[in-house]
Structure 1
């Protein structure tokens, strides 16, 4: 099939998914989520593909939800609930459960939903000057894609709370230090480093790779479906707050939000 919001390429045993909405820093709308899901499904079913690489075009990896799309289409609690439950299933959970390793190449900004993608891939390589953060809290939001659950699995509770509570960003180099990415490299070395890693993984036994990924995930992701549902329900509670509306207004008006706790 043809794609409007991503570039999907296959080279030897590696499938590459490039998020391709650089004009909006690769923010996610319904079409992009659907196309990412379709590409992942194709890569999973293609017996010639052994590794998947995800990256972004332009200055960003992914900056989370497209707020223009959210304002126009996710304007009720039910619409938000239906969209995020679907997006979690067709994109995030598919990355997490597919039997082939998925590598993220973090070339620039990875914010909000972008960091949630980082938490579900198997390996991540970042540019040293990438800008990574969970920005939800800054705007009175919660991560509906499971960030409050998955980030602590990678960073530990205290560092995860610091990143989530403050909404601060860290560099690719700092992300390597705290364990959010496997390696940070100079920007001009990112693509070659990721290509080399993908080629190395592609040489391994697909059977052993599939079983190893499943066992490791089963060790860490206990009661994952119930936990993700709790995260989504908590997101919806916050989504109905005045603070959330103030956060969105402040973002659109490019000012600091004033939260009132209701």
Structure 2
């Protein structure tokens, strides 16, 4: 199994943790790190034993975005260099967004540029009190990547997204919570405990139901009302026919706690 150099991948029981691991470079995304991120995402998505995945950063930064120096020094030139990094980052985000396993993002510090974009892709997002969020792209003459133009308008609306992208406004953790970008803010020392609390909830719950929620929400923006309701009807019928669905229904009727597979 490949040993990562810029990503830390750990698994304990049914929970995997992926951590950006270039702390001396503010966890900036160079090509190696973006490629390893995609490989780590693929490993997690293909592991049927996993019930939750946590994404975080090592050190003071969650991720400072793209490594601008690495872009400048790319032997292919800045344009091709940044495209390579963006393509690998987008591969990772697509895998994590579409995998059946729920994703928890634990934002341990500053999330800038692609770091901000990646921070908000989680099914649940918890941030340390010291975390800060800024788009930062136009400060260096670039444009958003990392799915920001897809997820952020859906999370907070177009007007607030425009403010963040055009002005590079810096949000602290409480402001990010107020804006609807994250779910929870905790003291720095409690960040991973909070993420693990959610991960254990997923590990002990009905995995098929969580996967169904992810799938329904991902398809909702492109479906008409009736098409989405038809998908809901089909999905809930499939869940009712599953072992976990039958156990959940039986447990409810029998007034006991369900035991999911």
Asked whether the two chains share a fold, i.e. TM above 0.5, the reply is: yes
1:55 has 2:56 as partner: yes
Structure 1 unaligned segments of length 5 or more: list them: 223-262
Preserved contact between residue 45 and residue 96 of structure 2 (Cα < 8 Å): no
Q: Please give the per-residue CA displacement for 1:46-66, whole angstroms capped at 9, x wherever unaligned.
A: 121111001111100011111
The aligned residue for residue 142 of structure 2 is 141
Aligned twin of 2:103: 102
Instruction: List per-residue Cα deviations over 1:110-141 (Å, max 9, x = no partner).
Output: 00000111232211100122111111122221
**Contact 1:129 1:173 (C-alpha < 8 Å) held by counterparts:** no
Q: What secondary structure is seen at the aligned counterpart in 1 of 2:126? A: strand
Specify every segment of 5 or more residues in structure 2 that has no aligned partner in the other structure, as ranges. 224-261
Task: Check whether the contact 2:7–2:37 (CA below 8 A) recurs between aligned residues.
Answer: yes
Partner of residue 183, structure 1: 184
Query: Residue 256 of structure 1 corresponds to which residue in structure 2?
Result: none
The separation in 2 between residues aligned to 1:131 and 1:83, in whole angstroms, is: 23
Cα offset, 1:96, TM superposition: 1.1
- The within-5 A match list for 1:154-193 is 154-193=155-194
The number of equivalent residue pairs is: 221
Provide the residue aligned with 2:233 in structure 1: none
Segments ≥4 residues shifted beyond 3 Å: 76-83
Once the 2 structures are TM-superposed, how far is the Cα of residue 76 of structure 1 from its aligned partner?
5.0
Report the 3-state secondary structure (helix = DSSP H, G, I; strand = E; otherwise coil) of the residue aligned with 2:59. coil
Q: C-alpha distance in 1, partners of 2:84/2:55?
A: 25
CA 1:80/1:130 → structure 2, altered by over 3 Å: closer, same or farther? Answer: closer
Which residue number in structure 2 is paired with residue 22 of structure 1? 23
Aligned ranges for residues 83-94 of structure 1 at < 5 Å?
Answer: 83-89=85-91, 91-94=92-95
Q: Name 1:204's counterpart in structure 2.
A: 205
RMSD across aligned C-alpha pairs, in angstroms? 1.6
Provide Cα deviations, 1:212-247, integer angstroms capped at 9, x if missing partner: 11111111367xxxxxxxxxxxxxxxxxxxxxxxxx
Superimposed CA distance per residue, residues 51-107 of structure 1 (whole angstroms, 9 cap, x where no aligned partner): 100111110001111112111115153454454234312x11111111111111001
Aligned equivalents of 2:222, 2:105: Cα separation in 1: 20
TM-score after normalising by structure 1: 0.80
Answer yes or no: is the 8 Å Cα contact 1:148–1:164 preserved in 2. no
Higher relative contact order (CA 8 A, sep 6+): 1
